[in-house]
Structure 1
Amino acid sequence: MTTPVAKPRLTLGPVLFNWPAERWRDFYARIADEAAVDTVILGEIVCFKRAPFIADALEESVDRLLAAGKEVWLASPILVGSDRERAAMRDLVADAPLTVEANDMGALALLDGRRHAVGPFINLYNEATLAWLAGRGAVSVSLPAELPAASVAALAGAGRELGVDVEVQVFGRAPLAISARCYHARAHGLHKDGCQFVCGNDSNGLAVETLDGQSFLTVNGTQTLSHGYLCLTAELERLAAMGVGRFRLSPHDTDMVRVIDAFRGVLDGERDGADAAAEIRALVDAPVANGFFHDTVGASYVTGAATGC
């Protein structure tokens, strides 16, 4: 076990979307050179078919980020189905020279007894589960995005006692579900095996509307995300007081360096959370939300004295 970090740390989660390899490479080059983020998590975790396209860029990005002084972790896929996918995950876990973030139970089984992290795609809702994960070698856990403040506080307290860093996603579309079926392909009248990689047409995901035209969700290949963007700048002080040591930002097609700078400024006490949220609103293509944290409708944004706004 390790002692949770005392200084709040910013984590940049893996890119969830199907970005071209050059764009992917350029993105991480800028993160290495300009972004005040502590840990960067790399890997294709949504669709195994996309992974070969970024393989070379992945290796280059790891080297560049490490040279820039960033902590780098490698992420396992969210959903593993075929024999080829299982073999690739076994290879990742066996050969990775870096910390691996497990995003499904198969990866957890392979990592048993080794130092590893646990991603937000593994269900973690109570202290008993956290203790079980810690006993198997987890040194950091990223909580599901839908947890309210009371649950976050309870798990952060348990993490402190266990010596496990507890992380909360504070920016980006919230991951809601994963499926063996590719919704992106289906929306274009294609089958998953012949998808033509149409997910690459939507760098922030494909918007889903209700029958009456109301924005509802976002589709990213086999993944379902929220329509709005989590934005917990106004809640950072409260989260830190709970004992949350890591704050996760999910990459999107926007100026992520500015997003990172906004969160870093609030964590360092140099910016007001509400002002930072206003800046982020101007950077994204959908509303911001913090409802899950405040135990209300997830898509809502709660303001007022209780949130620091």
Structure 2
Amino acid sequence: MKISLGPLLYYWPRAAVFDFYERAAVSAADIVYLGETVCSKRRELGPEDWLAIARTLARAGKEVVLSTLVLIEAESELGVLRRCCDQDEFMVEANDVGAIQLLAQRGRPFVAGPAINNYNARSLALLQRSGLRRWVMPVELPGDVLRDIVSDLDAASLKGAVETETFAYGRLPLAYSARCFTARAHNLPKDQCEFRCLQHPQGIALKAQDGRALFTLNGIQTMSAAIQNLGSQWQALADRGVDVLRVSPETPDSLDVVTELAQAIREDRPAGSTDGADICNGYWTGAAGMLWNTTESA
């Protein structure tokens, strides 16, 4: 199995981003996704900066994929999307159907990100004819559904043509909104947010009235409170047909997760935590997503 480093979902200072990807270049990650997927106001790095990092990673032997915004709200954002789809150095992860359309028009191969609602092999077959090479399973799908999808792909002789990637580590990206929750938490309008996301490099914890951790707010993105960690179940993912395990950066130390996962794969043993302390795997097992469940769905 291959390991990918997903796009950075948080807003980190420029120097921290460059340092992180400098270390990613010598990490065990096979694939690295780059770019801003959450909010176009996050401009610590511009398109040329991301391309410079991409070229450095490519020289280090990494497969580099440029990721697009999930929610396109302005003509300026559409312009950035077009430039990303026009470049031909690196494959693109499309996180919006508009990006898929642009890439299909250009005859470019692409990855369908987790924000694209692919729930069956028929949708994947349609996208494969438009250039799909890999899809990232929506985070809410359980393992038994994935098994059926991969089986249907195999029956359609598409399993070898379409790779399957699963969100194996990180806070789950659950929803996106035109409203910025971080700005609202600071009593600021979205257009005058003062880039407050920089003050929350792991998002803002949101608790229920009884004090339980409920969600994590990250700009316009709502994420899970707990971190999903499927490292202890990677062998079950492999049995379900997963080709790539995605590690989503939570902190600069998330590269340690990549190291541990790669070593576990080499040694054919489980990786990471096997209890439910601050982690969740409910969606994978067919339970409520915020739970840690030890019984996998049938």
**Normalization by structure 2: what TM-score?**
0.92
Counterpart of 2:250 in structure 1 is: 252
**How many angstroms does 1:157 deviate by?**
2.5
**How many angstroms does 1:262 deviate by?**
1.5
- Tell me how many residue pairs correspond in the alignment: 291
- 2:108 counterpart of 1:117: no
- 2:13 counterpart of 1:17: no
Mapped partners of 2:77, 2:143: distance in 1: 36
**Alpha-carbon displacement from aligned partner over 1:145-185 (angstroms, at most 9, x marks no partner):** 11111111122223443120011111000110011110100
- 2:24 counterpart of 1:27: no
**Alpha-carbon displacement from aligned partner over 1:115-165 (angstroms, at most 9, x marks no partner):** 111100111111211111111110000011111111111222234431200
Mapped partners of 1:180, 1:202: distance in 2: 19
**How many angstroms does 1:254 deviate by?**
4.7
Structure 1 segments of 4+ aligned residues over 4 angstroms from their partners: none
- 2:120 counterpart of 1:126: yes
Asked if structure 2 preserves the Cα contact closer than 8 Å seen for 1:289 and 1:300, the reply is yes
- 2:138 counterpart of 1:147: no
**Alpha-carbon displacement from aligned partner over 1:28-69 (angstroms, at most 9, x marks no partner):** 000102x10100000011011113535454233112211111
SS at match of 1:50: coil
Aligned counterpart for 2:195 among listed residues 180, 194, 197:
197
SS at match of 2:250: coil
Aligned-pair identity in percent equals: 36
- Amino acid of the structure 1 residue aligned with 2:167: Q
Gaps of 5+ in 1: 1-7
Please show how residues 209-220 of structure 1 align to structure 2 within 5 Å: 209-220=207-218
- Amino acid of the structure 1 residue aligned with 2:203: G
- Amino acid of the structure 2 residue aligned with 1:256: S
Asked if structure 2 preserves the Cα contact closer than 8 Å seen for 1:117 and 1:138, the reply is yes
Counterpart of 2:220 in structure 1 is: 222
**Alpha-carbon displacement from aligned partner over 1:89-133 (angstroms, at most 9, x marks no partner):** 111101242101100010011011321111001111112111111
The worse-fitting range, judged by mean Cα deviation, of 155-164 and 286-295 is: 155-164
Mapped partners of 1:254, 1:52: distance in 2: 17
Counterpart of 2:280 in structure 1 is: 289
Aligned pair in 2 of structure 1 residues 201, 96: CA closer, same or farther (>3 Å)? farther
Gaps of 5+ in 2: none
- Amino acid of the structure 2 residue aligned with 1:154: D
Counterpart of 1:38 in structure 2 is: 30
**How many angstroms does 1:237 deviate by?**
0.7
Mapped partners of 1:109, 1:57: distance in 2: 25
Mapped partners of 2:211, 2:243: distance in 1: 40
- 2:53 counterpart of 1:61: yes
Counterpart of 2:84 in structure 1 is: 92
Mapped partners of 2:88, 2:196: distance in 1: 30
Counterpart of 2:181 in structure 1 is: 183
- Greater fraction of residues in helix: 1
**Alpha-carbon displacement from aligned partner over 1:233-281 (angstroms, at most 9, x marks no partner):** 12211111122111111111151221001211222235433xx225x98
CA RMSD of the aligned region, Å?
A: 1.8
Counterpart of 2:98 in structure 1 is: 106
Mapped partners of 1:263, 1:271: distance in 2: 9
Asked if structure 2 preserves the Cα contact closer than 8 Å seen for 1:25 and 1:57, the reply is no
**Normalization by structure 1: what TM-score?**
0.89
- Amino acid of the structure 2 residue aligned with 1:202: H
